[in-house]
């Protein structure tokens, strides 16, 4: 969240590789990373868009909190996802990282909501569910995009109020006030 330039990001990534990296190889690392993030933001599963659309129709505010760097968000503005979110908090822009409670509080303030009114949905990476829970939010552990091992599931459920396997299960949670 604190690194601002692409060159510094690449330097940090490639410095962890125990072999010499040429300038051409660094360029290839950047290119691959950009392609990966472009794909993630521009090739969004239709089910995800449908669920977000249903939530918007229900006048539910939707926010995003992401641990990311400048390379990661390069294609955000072009993404069909961007239009569904009332606000997006990117760590590289605010200098905070999940699970720091401050990043959740910032998102809540920007949305004008109390933690008790919010549900945080995540795959559990970066201890994000623990952070959201500590900030006072209800939490949903989602495996819609990333499956975990049974051991990881058990560990993540310690910080989750609900576990979902499919993204459209969010609609049931919201419409039936499962939380």
3-48 residue pLDDT tens: 667 778 878 877 888 888 888 988 898 899 899 999 999 999 999 9
Global confidence as pTM? 0.89
CA angle 169, 159, 55 (to 5 degrees): 30
Residues paired with 163 in a beta bridge: 141
Res. 178: pLDDT tops 80: no
Instruction: Output the CATH code of domain 42-175.
Output: 3.40.50.1000
Res. 139: pLDDT tops 70: yes
pLDDT at position 10, please?
79
Res. 59: pLDDT tops 90: yes
What are the tokens at 108? Answer: 């809540």
Closest CA to 80 of 52, 120, 122, 60: 52
60-112 residue pLDDT tens: 999 999 999 888 899 999 999 999 999 999 999 999 999 999 999 999 999 99
Element (H, E) at 174: helix 169-175
pLDDT at position 179, please?
60
pLDDT at position 7, please?
78
User: Are the CB atoms for 99 and 80 separated by under 8 Å?
Assistant: no
Res. 1: pLDDT tops 60: no
């Amino acid at each position: 969240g604190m690194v601002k330039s692409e060159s510094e990001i690449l330097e940090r990534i490639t410095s962890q590789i125990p072999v010499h990296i040429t300038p051409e190889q660094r360029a290839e690392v950047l290119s691959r990373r950009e392609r990966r993030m472009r794909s993630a933001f521009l090739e969004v599963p239709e089910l995800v868009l449908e669920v977000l659309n249903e939530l918007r129709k229900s006048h539910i505010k939707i926010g995003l909190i992401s641990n990311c760097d400048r390379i990661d968000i390069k294609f955000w503005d072009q993404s069909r996802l961007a239009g569904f979110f009332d606000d997006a908090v990117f760590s590289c822009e605010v200098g905070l990282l999940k699970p720091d409670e401050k990043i959740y509080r910032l998102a809540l303030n920007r949305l004008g909501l109390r933690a008790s009114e919010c549900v945080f949905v995540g795959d559990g990476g970066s201890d994000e569910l623990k952070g959201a829970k500590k900030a006072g939010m209800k939490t949903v552990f989602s495996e819609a995009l990333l499956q975990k091992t049974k051991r990881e599931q058990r560990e993540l459920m310690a910080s989750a109020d609900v576990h979902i396997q499919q993204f459209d299960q969010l609609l049931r949670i919201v419409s039936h006030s499962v939380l």
